[in-house]
Structure 1
Amino acid sequence: MANKLCMNLQHVSVLVADVDEAFARYEKLLGMHGEKMDGYALMRCMHEDFCLILKPAGDKKPFLDYVAYELEPGLRLAEARREIEARGERVTEIDVPVRESGLLLTDPDGNRVVLVERRRPKDPRSPVMIPSDRIPGFHPRRLGHVNYLTENVKRQYDWYTQILGFKLTDWIGEAGLWLHIDPRHHVLAFLEKGYNHIHHLAFELVDFGQMRAGLDHIARYGRHVTWGPVRHGMAQNLASYWRMWEEEHFIEFYCDMQVLDADHEPFVHPDDPYASNTWGILPPRTYFMFTPEAIQMERDQVYAYLMP
């Protein structure tokens, strides 16, 4: 197993049709805040430098641009580049807002991955101790993980563990893969569904009470829950999923995720409803679809009426 290069998820970059509109939407729906820059925007959950970049899509489809991870403390970009190239992967250097530069890689599914050097927070105190006149009452605690759909989960497992040194947490059957780089259960996951697509960006909330408040909040703005609240058996977190249909992904609100013991042993969970949701119900099949037809089926509650 390759040595681990990354210590945490730092930010995601999303291509949007209109930066001003998207900034207002993420601010309104998720309680994020940030700054509009020259041609792009930076957003954060609390006091981090940023966790979300909004960029104009131009002639591209509004979609996930890349996912960025911080390198292990003390590991410089040049050292990481040499190590990754020695593992047989091509790397290019790109500009990254605030962080100046990063290393760009592309996984076997075509998902772009960026690595940036670790920066300690300017204020080392717990976020709840730091005063602010910008953070609203409802806001996420942090950007927590990313989940993709894939056509080949084994290939993704090999790449992330051998090139970046991610650690295996658990499997569900042979098609569901969860990986970690810190004590939290997962920072990255893949479900083999026959095609490659971002599935969700996950934001951690404080507790189930804040999730209730968050779901009431998005409902007022016409966003409905596709699946949830659920209790994942594997990972143990409470979770609810709703669509950010403008950029073809789901948002997950979650809390109470499993923290791994130092001697955690990966487990293969049976591919059954209990592993996905100990409370019972599985997601509608539209949960794995991103077409306008699938979104309309959810709005019409087709899966609840047993219509074909």
Structure 2
Amino acid sequence: MRLGRIDHVALRVADLDEASVRWCLQFGLVERARDGGRALLACNDEPYSVELIEGGEPGHDHVAFALHRDCSLEDARAHLQTLDVEWAEREGCLFVDDPDGRPVQLMPHRDAATEIDRWPQHARPSSTVHVGGPRRLGHVNCLTGDVQAGFRFYTEVLGMRLSDWLGDGGVWFHVDSDHHVMALVDVGYAHFHHLAFEVVDIGKMRDLLDHVARHGRWLSWGPTRHGIAGNIASYVRIPEERCHVELYCDMEQLQDDHVPRAYPDDRYSSNTWGPLPPRSYFRFDPVAIEWERESWETRGRPLPPPPEGWPG
């Protein structure tokens, strides 16, 4: 198994019309297509990078990765069969669940339609790309209750390569030169934490943060400068789909001979500029959201335990 890149993230939404307009307006995306209760949203001129699905419990549905050009769908199928991993095939793709039960979609490699489509993003002529949005979907991060099981799955089953460890409770994976396309943080329970959009620089991040703030959004953490991966990052809370959106730039690029590192689980590894995230950053219950929105912790009111039935 060899993956080529992240393709898209799928989220379930309560109201497709409302959610599509909201994501496009607030994060500078554009709706590419809509069919059968699904809306496909793009950052730039990719087919799409966010899939919104109407119905069901709002939140994460699946993450999709495109196979490397050297790995066919038949190769991936045979690999899963050899490992005796359960999978399903539909719509010309393979679907497999990670140890936390999160579905992963494996899509066949797609060559660029034309030679121009292989050019750098800024050099491709366009009549549809609009100003204001992020450059691309870059990675995802998930909370887990068993980081070792996740490590084995993403390396042995999906063929990702280990980038770095944070103590024994956080692990980052890559498939190309970007420091990570996927990360897991062990907090004792499973939850999809964030999808990450790359922006060109911190100036663009500033513009987007000003924009989302005018729409009532707030930062759950950031701006930060991560020790691991080196990226500058800001995390925007999305209560509607129970996740965060990370806006990031300046990520470390790994060489082919990269040797994974083990960082100490301290403040500097997570944020060379300042504090660790508030505890609400790892929670998605209504209490945590209120405490974040109203800055109650910094106003002297400790974060209460989550309500009954909510993890964390």
- Shorter-chain TM-score bucket reads over 0.9
Does the alignment pair 1:188 with 2:185? no
Is contact 2:2-2:70 (8 Å) kept? no
Aligned position for 1:86? 82
Name the aligned partner's letter for residue 28 of structure 2.
Answer: G
Q: Say how many residue pairs are matched.
A: 298
How far apart are 1:11 and its partner, in Å? 0.9
CA deviation digits over 1:176-213, x for unaligned, max 9?
A: 11011111000000000010000000000000100000
How far apart are 1:307 and its partner, in Å? 1.4
Structure 1 gap ranges (5+): 96-100
Aligned position for 1:15? 12
Bigger mean CA deviation after superposition, 133-142 or 189-198: 133-142
CA deviation digits over 1:53-90, x for unaligned, max 9?
A: 11112xx2111111011111042222210111101211
Aligned position for 1:106? 97
CA deviation digits over 1:86-116, x for unaligned, max 9?
A: 0121111022xxxxx2100001100100101
Name the aligned partner's letter for residue 76 of structure 1.
Answer: S
Aligned position for 1:168? 162
Distance (whole Å) between structure 2 residues aligned to residue 274 and residue 112 of structure 1 = 33
Distance (whole Å) between structure 2 residues aligned to residue 149 and residue 206 of structure 1 = 27
Distance (whole Å) between structure 2 residues aligned to residue 212 and residue 135 of structure 1 = 21
CA deviation digits over 1:161-190, x for unaligned, max 9?
A: 111111110011000110111110000000
Distance (whole Å) between structure 2 residues aligned to residue 223 and residue 107 of structure 1 = 31
Residues 59-138 of structure 1 aligned to structure 2 (within 5 Å):
60-95=56-91, 101-122=92-113, 123-138=117-132
Match of 2:22 among 8, 25, 28: 25
Does the alignment pair 1:246 with 2:246? no
SS state of the match for residue 66, structure 1? strand
Is contact 1:31-1:135 (8 Å) kept? no
Does the alignment pair 1:179 with 2:176? no
How far apart are 1:258 and its partner, in Å? 0.2
Structure 2 gap ranges (5+): 303-312
Moved over 6 A (4+): none
Aligned position for 1:55? 53
Name the aligned partner's letter for residue 176 of structure 2.
Answer: D
RMSD of the alignment, in Å? 1.1
